[in-house]
Amino acid sequence: MNISVVIPLLNEDESLPELTELIEKVMKEHNFSYEIIYIDDGSTDNSWNTILDLQKKNENIRGIKFRRNYGKSAALNVGFGESKGDVVITMDADLQDNPNEIPELYRMIIEDDFDIVSGWKKKRFDPLSKTIPTKIYNGVTSWMSGIKLHDMNCGLKSYKSNVIKNIEVYGEMHRYIPVIAKWAGFTKVGEKVVQHQARKYGVTKFGLSRFIYGPLDLFSIMFMGKFGKRPMHFFGVIGIIISLIGTALLFYLSISKLFFDETGIANRPSFFLGMLLIIVGVQLFIAGFVAELVSRSAYGRNNYKIEKEI
């Protein structure tokens, strides 16, 4: 099978028939073998019945319904697991992503040999309350991850099948799939300017919680990617440095007391700062030691992804 189109959705029953029609048209024009996987993320409208009706008309349509709303990351993770295509394309169900972009996204994976191709909505039709935070978010994420993408959170992306089969997406980490893939060893990331269309039906699912959970998830990915199998290298190093600073401070105060006959050093703020630094440093070192024990006893601690073998 050439393409699997994975589409998570929440209360998008009005847009599904039109979206399906547009995808079918593109697939037929380019003679692609394909499947469309709709993941209903706990919709409370008529979305699931709409999917059932569409499936009766087209056997290439598959549907998965969650009992409740788990979030876009969960929907994508399940869709990735169920996909069978050589290339997996994700897109939103709100008609803001144009299915006419699919052939070029497919070509860039197959012919240009990218692991991931991310869409870039260079011209957006979103309000400033969404576009400005998005630019800040993209800039910070690119700087921290080293992946130079203008629109990290664009829902329209294409992947090699083995990329999505070797990563796990959870929490709110769908925004950082290129970063997750990079830490899994897939570094060929491309970008394509795609058309952004104004929402035609329904309402946006964008919320303020994104500003809270998004950065936390990014820190989690960066930490797990770099120190997931060696947490002592993070906590231990920081703990030792802090402890050494505290020890040096107390040593300085001790020298002052012994050789310069200074009195009342126990009442000086620097004395308490030195004690605090030593205590915090020891605690961080112990945390790293415990994390190392947990990591070494974890299931799959020595499972490494092998790309080729002869």
User: DSSP letters along 128-140, please?
Assistant: HHHHHHHHHHHHH
Tens of pLDDT, residues 210-256 = 666 666 777 776 777 677 777 888 888 899 999 999 999 989 888 88
Region for 163 from its dihedrals, namely left if φ exceeds 0, alpha if ψ lies in -120 to 50, beta otherwise: alpha
Q: Identify the residue whose tokens are 């629109």.
A: 151
Neighbours of 245 (CB within 10 A): 15
Given this model, what pLDDT does residue 308 score?
56
User: Both tokens of residue 169?
Assistant: 């997406």
Helix spans in 146-186 (H): 161-164, 177-183
More confident residue, 59 or 310: 59
Neighbours of 142 (CB within 10 A): 16
Tens of pLDDT, residues 2-36 = 999 999 999 999 999 999 999 999 999 999 999 99
Going from the C-alpha of 31 to that of each of 17, 25, 98, 238, the distances in angstroms are 21, 10, 18, 57
* Strands (E) located in the chain: 3-9, 34-40, 61-65, 87-90, 116-120, 157-160, 189-193
Helix spans in the chain (H): 16-29, 47-57, 72-82, 102-110, 128-145, 161-164, 177-183, 209-227, 232-259, 269-297
Share of the chain above pLDDT 90, in %: 48
Tens of pLDDT, residues 162-192 = 999 988 887 778 888 888 888 888 989 999 9
Task: Give the predicted TM-score (pTM) of the model.
Answer: 0.75
Tens of pLDDT, residues 252-286 = 888 887 777 666 677 788 888 989 999 999 999 99
Neighbours of 281 (CB within 10 A): 21
